[in-house]
Amino acid sequence: MAAREQFGSRLGFILAAAGSAVGIGNMVGFPVAATKNGGGAFLLLYALFVVLICLPVMLAEMSVGRHSRKDPLNAYTHLTNNEPHWRVAGWLSIITPFMIAVFYLVITVWIFGYLFQSIMGNLDQLADPATFGAFIQSSDLFIYMVAVLAVVYLILQGGVKQGIEKAAKVMMPALFFMLIGLVIFVLTLDNAFAGVEYYLVPDFSKITASVVSAALSQAFFSLSLGMGIMITYGSYLDSKSDVPGSAKFVALADTGVAFIAGLLILPAIFSFNPDTNTAELSDSSVGMIFTFLPKIFLALQASIGYLGASIVASLFFLLVFFAAITSLVSIFEVPVSAFMESKKVSRKKALGLMGALLVVTSVIASMSFGIWDPVTSFVTYADQSKSLFDVIVDVFYDTILPLNGLLICLFVIYRWKKDNFNAELDEGAPNYKGSFFEKYVDFSVGTFIPVILLLIFINTVALKYF
Ligand code: PFF
C-alpha cells in the first residue's frame, strides 16, 4: 500500500490549515458580526472562545487525524473496530463537509463573478442594487462555476504537498499583503477612524445570550471545526510535528486576519458615509459583500479615479477569492480522501467522482434563488418556506457542526481515552506533557465543552425547526 501523503514542512501545514480557517467568514462574516454585536465587547468574547473552546477542539481533531493517519470516516471506524455508532460519527464528518462545500462553492462562484466584473471595470453595474438579484439567477453562474472548480481541481490533483501546500504557500502570503495594503489605503480616507472607533469601542450592553452564542458559532466555524478538515489535515502530519504549537499558530493567524479584516471594512463604510449608524449597516455578510461594498468602490472613483477604484475593487475580491479557495480546497479534500482510502482508488479517480457529485449538487442548490421552483420552495418548517440552499445552511452549518464538535470531544476522552489523546499530542511537543495547557485541554474537552456544544445543538434544533 502506498504510504500516506504528508505535508513537506511545519510551515506548509500551518499555512494550509490557516488557509482553511481564513475564509469568507473572516473577511466579511466576522466584521459584520462584531459591529452588530457590541464591537470590542464581541471581540473580547470571540477571543476568549477561540482560546478556551475552539483550540481544545482543534487539538482533539488534529490528534485523531495524526494518530489514525486516516480521513474522519476511516479514523472513527479504525480506532473503534468499526463500532456502529462511531461509524455514524464518521459518516457525519464526511457528509457535513460535502454539503458545506456545496453552499460555500455557490458563494465562491458569486465572488469570482464579482472579481471578474471588477477586473473588467464594471463598477457602476456592480453597484446597482438590482445587479446581485439578477446575477444569482443568471446562467453566467455556471460558467463561473466551471472556472472555480477548475482551480480547485488543479490544486487538489497535485496532492497534499504539491497541491494543497504549494497553493497555501502562494495564496496565504499574497492574501496577507493584499489585506494589509488595502487596510493602509482605507485608513487614509476621510473619516476612516470613526469606523475604527465604531469597530473597537466595546458596548457591553449588547452582549445578550444570543450574542454569546453567535460569537461561539462564528469562532467555531471560522476555525474550520466540526467539518472533518482538521482531522484530515492532521492525518498528513508525521509524528515529529508539534501539533499543539501548530494549532496555536493556526488559531492566532485566523483570529488575526479576522480582526484586521474589520479594520478594512469598517473604515471603508464610515468614509463612504460618515453618518453611518448600526441600522444602516447591512446585517448579512452576503448583503455586505455584494451590495454594500460595491457602492463604496464606485464612490471611490470620485477621489482616486476610475482605474484606481477598479484596482481597489479587484484587489478586494481577489483577496476574498483567495481566502475562499484555500477553504474550499480543504473542505473538499475531506470526502476525496475518504473515498480514496475506503475504495482504494487514486486521487484522480476520487476527485473526478466526488467532483461530479459536487457539480450536480451545487448546480441544483444554486437554482434555489428563483431559477427552479421545486428547489426555490423546497420545504416548509417553522412556518417558513425554505429553499434547498437554506436547508443546507440550516441543517449542516447551523445544526450538525456543533454536533460533530460534541462527538469528537466525547470520542477522544471517553472512547479513545485521555491517555492516548495526551500521548499523541505529546509526540513532537515535549513541553506539552504535564503542562497547564494539557490539563486544561483534557478537562475542558471532557466536561464543559461538550455540554456547551450540546446546548447549542438543542437550542438550534428547537429554534430552527419547531
Ligand atoms: N473557516 C472558514 C471560513 O471562515 O470561511 C470556514 C470554512 C467554510 C472552511 C467552508 C471551509 C469551507 F469550505
Q: How far is the CA of 327 from the centre of ligand 1 (A)?
A: 5
Percent above pLDDT 70 for the chain: 98
Q: Is 345 left (phi over 0), alpha (psi -120 to 50) or beta?
A: beta
Check residue 64 and give its pLDDT: 98
Report residue 45 as a C-alpha cell: 468574547
Residue with cell 479534500: 333
pTM for the predicted model, two decimal places: 0.96
Burial label, 198 (beta-carbon count in 10 A; 0-12, 13-18, 19+): buried
Q: Is residue 104 lining ligand 1, measured as CB closer than 6 Å?
A: yes
Report whether pLDDT(278) > 60.
no
Q: Tell which residue, 12, 39, 2, 437, has the closest CA to residue 265.
A: 39
Q: Is residue 404 lining ligand 1, measured as CB closer than 6 Å?
A: no
Check residue 172 and give its pLDDT: 98
Check residue 274 and give its pLDDT: 75
Check residue 371 and give its pLDDT: 86
Q: Is residue 328 lining ligand 1, measured as CB closer than 6 Å?
A: yes
Is the separation of the CB atoms in 225 and 57 below 8 Å?
yes
Is the separation of the CB atoms in 170 and 361 below 8 Å?
no
The C-alpha angle 251, 69, 18, rounded to 5 degrees, equals 20
Check residue 35 and give its pLDDT: 87
Q: How far is the CA of 21 from the centre of ligand 1 (A)?
A: 6
Q: Is residue 24 lining ligand 1, measured as CB closer than 6 Å?
A: yes
According to DSSP, residue 163 is labeled: I
Q: Which domains does the chain have, with CATH numbers?
A: 10-465 (1.10.4160)
Find the mean pLDDT for residues 172-199. Answer: 95
What are the tens digits of pLDDT across the range 7-31? 999 999 999 999 999 999 999 999 9
Q: How far is the CA of 26 from the centre of ligand 1 (A)?
A: 9
ipTM of the complex: 0.94
Is the separation of the CB atoms in 381 and 425 below 8 Å?
no
Q: Is residue 17 lining ligand 1, measured as CB closer than 6 Å?
A: no
Q: Give Cα separations from 354 to 4, 52, 75, 234 (angstroms).
A: 20, 35, 20, 21
Burial label, 466 (beta-carbon count in 10 A; 0-12, 13-18, 19+): exposed
Q: Is residue 96 lining ligand 1, measured as CB closer than 6 Å?
A: no
Report whether pLDDT(456) > 60.
yes
The C-alpha angle 377, 138, 129, rounded to 5 degrees, equals 90
Buried b or exposed e, range 308-342, using 16+ CB within 10 angstroms: ebbbbbbbbbbbbbbbbbbbbbbbbbbbbbbbbbe
Find the mean pLDDT for residues 414-443. Answer: 97
At residue 370 the predicted structure's pLDDT band, cuts being 50, 70 and 90, is confident
Check residue 275 and give its pLDDT: 72
Which residue's C-alpha comes closest to atom 9 of ligand 1? Answer: 327
Q: How far is the CA of 190 from the centre of ligand 1 (A)?
A: 33
Report whether pLDDT(393) > 70.
yes
Find the mean pLDDT for residues 336-349. Answer: 97
Q: Is residue 30 lining ligand 1, measured as CB closer than 6 Å?
A: no
Q: Is residue 335 lining ligand 1, measured as CB closer than 6 Å?
A: no
Report whether pLDDT(41) > 90.
yes
Q: Is residue 100 lining ligand 1, measured as CB closer than 6 Å?
A: yes
Check residue 273 and give its pLDDT: 81
Is the separation of the CB atoms in 389 and 397 below 8 Å?
no
Q: Is residue 18 lining ligand 1, measured as CB closer than 6 Å?
A: no
Q: How far is the CA of 328 from the centre of ligand 1 (A)?
A: 7
What are the tens digits of pLDDT across the range 110-141? 999 999 999 999 999 999 989 999 999 999 99
What are the tens digits of pLDDT across the range 74-103? 999 999 999 999 999 999 999 999 999 999
State which ligand 1 atom lies nearest to the alpha carbon of 24: 5
Report whether pLDDT(2) > 70.
no
Check residue 283 and give its pLDDT: 65
Cα distance between residue 106 and residue 388, in whole Å: 12
Q: What is the 3-state secondary structure (H, E, C) of 52-100?
A: HHHHHHHHHHHHHHHHHCCCHHHHHHHHCCCCHHHHHHHHHHHHHHHHH
Find the mean pLDDT for residues 337-343. Answer: 97
- SS3 category, 50: helix
